[in-house]
Amino acid sequence: MLSRAASSLYWLGRYVERADFVARLVEATVRLDALSARPAGEAAWDSALAVTYASDAFKATGMPINQANVARFLTIDRDQKASIVRCLESARNNARAVRTALTREAWTAINRAWLVFHNRAGPGGTMATLGLVEAIKAETRGFEGAVFRMMRNEATWFIRLGAAVERADNTARLVDVKYHLLLPEGEPVGGVVDRDQWTTILQTVSAVTAYRWLYSEGLKPGLVIDLLLARPELPRSLAACVEETVEMLGLLGKRTGLQGEADRMARARSARLQRTRSHEVIVSGLHQYLQAFIRENALLDAAIKRQFRFL
């Protein structure tokens, strides 16, 4: 496979995953905003910006933080790197560059997702925003489904590798930001607002029901963190993403004979995560832990580029 193609496939995986994540984040924030009678609504949108590393860019627009502005910013604003439409545009450009490596179905799915957003003037009100988000989730699911029906070869694995690396990053950022920024001052831990916020986190990663299945206790921050860090059953947990990274690198190595630094890093991280006890992480500093994880993820990304000679 061409090095350039491998790189495009990997980034296609990353950008589709990112678009899906931002869509979920907007959806969950709309919910949190609706539930909050207090200024927590504004804080919710503030933290959504923080999760997507877009706080400064938003501040630069000079607009006040509210649902209409932030939702527009994160969905259809073509000038913003973090917006869904820009993620989809990047995904589509990468997909176009490697059309020959994709099936017709996979390409059509990504092209359709882009068409949903392309030239969209405004997200409209809450209903329209939710409709848009729902449409994008459906299209990215369609893309994932198409990827699973592609030949089991390097093309598929590079897309899934990109998705897994991106997903690990997204979950880590989500937990980090929500855990530290969300709770307004004076609001008791375990209170209504706190509870809503943890539900929001679970919603963002589609894990509300999963939580009920895995934990007999009611909603507890410690257990939500345990779920998102250490439970391999949950597809968006750090443990699951890390495991998938190892698996994809293994498949690629077997087919191409290319194994090296990226595999070693991924395996070492996986082994460490298996030993991780989430309550210990919370005690010793969740923020530091997640920051280290995000840094490590970036290092792994760089190692993947070197290992597969991305152009």
- Considering the complex, state which of residue 3 and residue 288 has its C-beta at the smaller distance from another protein: 3
Q: Which of residues 248-277 bind another protein (CB under 8 A)?
A: 256-258
Q: What is the DSSP string of 30-49?
A: HHHHHH-SSTHHHHHHHHHH
* Both tokens assigned to 161: 């590798």
Nearer to another protein by C-beta: 104 or 275? Answer: 104
Considering only 12-20, 90-98, 190-198, 224-232, which stretch makes contact with another protein by CB under 8 A? 90-98
DSSP secondary structure, 218-267, as one string:
---HHHHHHHHHH-TTSTTSHHHHHHHHHHHHHHHHHHH---SHHHHHHH
Minimum gap (Å) between residue 36 Cβ and another protein: 40
State how far Cα 241 lies from the chain centre.
11
**Is 179 or 308 the residue whose CB approaches another protein more closely?**
308
- Residue 268 neighbours by CB under 8 Å, 6+ apart: none
| Backbone φ and ψ of 82, nearest 5° | -85, -10
Residue 97-116 contact track with another protein, rule CB under 8 A, x = bound: x-xx---x--xx--xx--x-
Segment 133 to 192, residues that bind another protein, using CB under 8 A: 154
Query: Amino acid identity of 298?
Result: A
**How far is Cα 311 from Cα 305, in angstroms, rounded to an integer?**
8
Q: Name the token pair of 258.
A: 């290319």
Size of the site for another protein (CB under 8 A): 24
251 or 281: CB nearest another protein: 251
CB of 94 to another protein, least distance (A): 9
Q: List residues near another protein by CB under 8 A.
A: 1-6, 93, 96-97, 99-100, 104, 107-108, 111-112, 115, 154, 256-258, 308-309, 311
